[in-house]
Structure 1
Amino acid sequence: MNTVITIGRQFGSGGREIGEKLAEHFGIKCYDKELLSRAAKDSGFCEEMIKTHDERPTNSFLYNLVMDTYSFGYNTSTFMDMPISHKVFLAQFDAIKSIAKEGPCVLVGRCADYALHDMKNCLHFFIYADEETKIQRLVKKYPDLNESKARDMMIKKDKQRQSYYNYYSSKKWGRADSYDFCLNSSVLGIDGTVKLITQIIEDFEQKEQ
């Protein structure tokens, strides 16, 4: 196993669960919230601050300015003047690259596919599902939610993720040409989708040999 797997996901689609099951199958680590701890450790930022700004968009700086500053590193005066949200993004961006260099793993969300776009041994997936399936999964996961509240939460979270991804990457969230594979988890279910992705990864690794 030599492949780094990234997973973008709609809220309620089961993307994180799919990532965890893939990691378990291949005996590798899955980074979702764990990525925040790693970013905090590597950057020296407070983990609570990173959690507060996790996958949240901002409109205060232009994307190009962020990436220009990134190329000069953390110690520039421009970086020091950056909004916290940009510092958090760059800390996560660096953590994703560092983790991927350490070996095969699963990385969920946080523009991981964009951060690793130049790595050859990566496969990038996007998981979506039909609205009813997502709502039922959310209601089951969060007992205090009714269907109406679950729908509202789903719309809000997806808007946040879309804005974050579209702002910090040069691609479009959820669009087929932004990823290697887009899969509807409603069709085969969580386990069936994991099985399909496993087959894709195994075929990819065989091709690369």
Structure 2
Amino acid sequence: MQDYDNIHSVPAQAPPQRLSPPPIKYPMAAPQLPHTPVDNQSQVNNGNAASSPKGAQSPASQSREEQRINLLFDINVELLQEVNRLQAEGKGGAISPQQAAQLKAQGQPAVQASEDYIQCLRRVQANLAYLMPKAQPDQANPAKASQGPAHMTPPPHMPQLQDKYDRLKVLFDGWPGLDARMAASSASPKPQQSGPN
């Protein structure tokens, strides 16, 4: 009877930990990446490589990175809902003259998308371009990695996203975005050419 009591007094072991976090589901977000099973033999050969990622982050910077990713997903959900709405209204279509020409060559309608549609789609694509290296850190090239999303402002027709973009600016402190850089470079004074009047 005493052995029986000892068996029940042993603390329960924690269940085995998963090697990857459960997927976060966002409606209308980018398709989920395929899950590849982990090869146990490669874990043995690589020692602790699977459990300690390169350049381990402090808890504070890891939390900040999670906030950035979650906010970008939230923004993308709203942008994709708007893209869907605009498509339903017939405002979707080719986003460039080249794409319109391709559609026409394939015998499909070559309708040019509205500017609102293009603005939303550009932001979704830019956000995904920033997020992709985060999803595949082993394949990411740190030299080419962006410091932040290309667009740090909402589409002009979606002022309801301003609050989220303001939070994005706080999370990416000091990163103006590529759209601000392009605006600054186009606003810089250009040398005037002298010529006959």
Q: Please report the TM-score for the alignment, with normalisation by the length of structure 2.
A: 0.23
- Whichever structure has more strand as a proportion of its residues is 1
**Structure number with higher helix proportion:** 1
